[in-house]
Amino acid sequence: MKYEEIEKRVKEKNELERVLRKHIDKKLKMLMDGGFGKQESYKMLSGKVVDFRTLMRWHTGETMRPTTFEKLIRLIEE
């Protein structure tokens, strides 16, 4: 793979991650302000796409395998 291709993929991934974090932050705050607990909120946000613990780990900053991140991207609303 050429350097330009790698650079392009990394930029795309970072942009998708930024958008996903923004969505998750907004929805998580809304749910927790509504009286739901932290784990329950993550469960509702993750749906059936990924396990809520995976979403919680990613959201707190742990690194993920590329396939896991691809599953998380499905949570972004168009």
- Whether residue 36 lies inside any domain: the answer is yes
Cα–Cα distance, 27 to 1 (Å, whole number): 37
- Total number of domains in the chain: 1
Backbone angles phi, psi at 9, to 5 degrees: -65, -40
Where in the sequence is the domain holding 35, given as residue range(s)?
A: 3-73
Residue 11 belongs to a domain: yes
Mean pLDDT of 11-16: 92
| Contact status, residue 59 vs residue 21, Cβ threshold 8 Å | yes
CA distance 58 to 28: 14
CA distance 38 to 56: 9
- Looking at the domain assignment, is residue 78 inside a domain? no
Judging by beta carbons within 10 Å of its beta carbon (0-12, 13-18, 19+), is residue 4 exposed, middle or buried?
Answer: exposed
pLDDT tens sequence across 36-78: 999 999 999 998 888 999 999 989 888 778 888 888 888 876 4
Higher per-residue pLDDT: 78 or 21? 21
Tell me if the pTM is above 0.75.
yes
